[in-house]
Amino acid sequence: MAPSDVYAARLAQERAIFAEQKQVHDLPEIFHYWSNTHLRPMMEAFGFSNPDQFYARYLAEAARRVDGPARFVSLGSGNCDTEVRVAALLRDMGLQDFVIECLDINEDMLERGHVLAREAGLQTQILPLLTDFNQWSPEACYAAAMANQSLHHVVELERLFDSVRQCLLPRGLFLTSDMVGRNGHQRWPEALRAVWGFWHELPAERRYNLQLERQEDWFENWDCSGEGFEGIRAQDILPLLLERFHFELFLPYGNIIDPFIDRSFGHHFDAASAADRAFIDRVHARDEAGILAGEWTPTHLVAVLCLDPPEMPLRSRGLQPEDCVRPPEPLWSAPPTQSLSELTEFLGRCGGTDEPYLSVHYPRFRQVHELVSEGPRARRVLDVGAHWLHQTLFYTEQDAQVFAVDGAPTFSLPSVQEAARRAGIRLLQEADLESAQSLSQIPESSIDLILFTEIIEHLTFNPVAMW
């Protein structure tokens, strides 16, 4: 299929997805608990409490910087509901002489925007325009451009950002609240392991994906960009903004908290439950600690951008834009050269046990992993006879689901359970490896890579025929 045909097909999917969505921003109640408890204080440090107030505050500032009527443009406005609310706030602030051009590809949504604007008495301020902003060529200059949860739908980011630069007045502002994590809203490996660590605390009924209508006993790192444009180039947004603009305000947040408060699983939580709130608080605390320590990067961003370096740049929690870029990595990467410190660290992850054994066999485990790393990417790894997870731990460094099978004598040990929890390894306890009833717990009953590196010599049956 030619690139133009692929784009046309995705465009049709995108229109179909949103054509009937009248409330595209509705989120679970537990999200609102989290945002009011944890996100709102971050925003209030800069004079606004929510995205609507953010846009109104800085559109008003942009209007103040121009001489005469203020013209704004909103990129990917959808139903124009955010724009209508923001326009009402601007009117309440005393700003009357302004227009917000609302660009979107969906006629049905823009028609709803017309209705909302008329109902609010803002039909002269809200101007819905049918436009594919992937191909947008501005014909006017603007005091400000805004993009509310729309940039992660853009394929031609470079073109769009260049167009914004071209159309902004010299002191104009570019405002955005958007998702800037991994493409398709996936987790990068380091964050995925942290999600899995909390996932196993959830009862089975809370692991049901309400959007995809499937059970996820093991959290699936789903790529949302498979249809339409959802998260199509999310990970490129921040690097490209850094190349073309300066950040007047930079407020990044969130990563491993996302699956627990979003639409797929968030509705399972009760915002009125003290236990559920405590769980969300605990996930948020770990998320925030990981972001501040540089263990993983934020997946959300509220930002004010400008063409020239600002006199007083504002930074939330001291985080700098360039430090929040997560560089893409190879799908597989070999471990570093063995050293004494590396071996010591590895032993610590195994509970500090079995040092004489590992001092001999650790190089063998590394060699096996290097050989595997040269092959196709394995999304599901099964280690049969995993013992104390000596070999298993190597495969948690990749973006893979890792399962370990062994008996109670090893898997009941606190050190093994703690190592599995920290690394996101799912332990499948099996009394008889020849029968392997525990395999039914593996999603879709499929595995890409099976390891027998510590058990072959102990078997009395043919593992190739069995497994």
- Is pLDDT at 335 greater than 50 in this prediction? no
Q: Which residue has better confidence, 285 or 6? A: 285
Residue 93, classed as helix, strand or coil, is coil
388 contacts 415 by C-beta, under 8 angstroms: yes
- Name the band, by pLDDT with cuts 50, 70 and 90, for residue 54: very high
- Name the band, by pLDDT with cuts 50, 70 and 90, for residue 21: very low
- Is pLDDT at 460 greater than 70 in this prediction? no
Task: List, for residues 61-90, the tens digit of each pLDDT value.
Answer: 999 999 889 999 999 999 999 999 999 999
Quote the pLDDT of residue 67: 83
Architecture of domain 3-324: 3-Layer(aba) Sandwich (3.40)
Q: Report CA torsion sign: 303, 309, 314, 320.
A: positive
Long-range contacts of 405-413 (CB under 8 A, 24+ apart): 405/430, 405/433, 405/436, 405/438, 405/439, 406/430, 406/433, 407/431, 407/433, 410/386, 413/351, 413/388
Half-sphere exposure of 143 (CA within 13 A, CB side): 20
Q: Which helix (H) or strand (E) holds 454?
A: none
- Name the band, by pLDDT with cuts 50, 70 and 90, for residue 434: low
Task: List, for residues 336-368, the tens digit of each pLDDT value.
Answer: 444 556 656 666 666 666 666 666 677 777 778
Percent of the chain with pLDDT over 90: 58
Span 36-64, average pLDDT: 99
- Name the band, by pLDDT with cuts 50, 70 and 90, for residue 398: low
Burial status of residue 109 (CB atoms within 10 A of its CB: 0-12, 13-18, 19 or more): buried
- Distance between CA 467 and CA 442 in Å, rounded? 14
Spans of all domains in the chain: 3-324, 340-466
Quote the pLDDT of residue 296: 96
End-to-end alpha carbon distance in the chain: 39
- Distance between CA 137 and CA 102 in Å, rounded? 14
- Distance between CA 361 and CA 346 in Å, rounded? 12
Closest among 405, 396, 415 to 453, alpha carbons compared = 405
Length of the chain: 467
- Distance between CA 82 and CA 62 in Å, rounded? 18
CATH number for the domain formed by residue range(s) 340-466? 3.40.50.150
Same fold, 3-324 and 340-466: yes
Give the DSSP letter string of 222-237: --GGGSTTTTTTHHHH
DSSP state of 149: S
Closest among 92, 84, 50, 109 to 72, alpha carbons compared = 84
Query: Parallel, antiparallel, or unpaired for β 246-253 and 300-306?
Result: antiparallel
Quote the pLDDT of residue 64: 97
Q: Which helix (H) or strand (E) holds 14?
A: helix 3-19
The arrangement of strands across the sheet holding 401-406 comes to 425-429, 401-406, 380-384, 449-451
- Distance between CA 457 and CA 332 in Å, rounded? 29
Q: How far apart, in Å, are the Cα atoms of 47 and each of 42, 54, 196, 206, 417?
A: 10, 8, 36, 36, 45
pTM for the full model?
0.75
What one-letter code names the amino acid at 189? P
Q: Two tokens at 397?
A: 């460094």
456 contacts 463 by C-beta, under 8 angstroms: yes
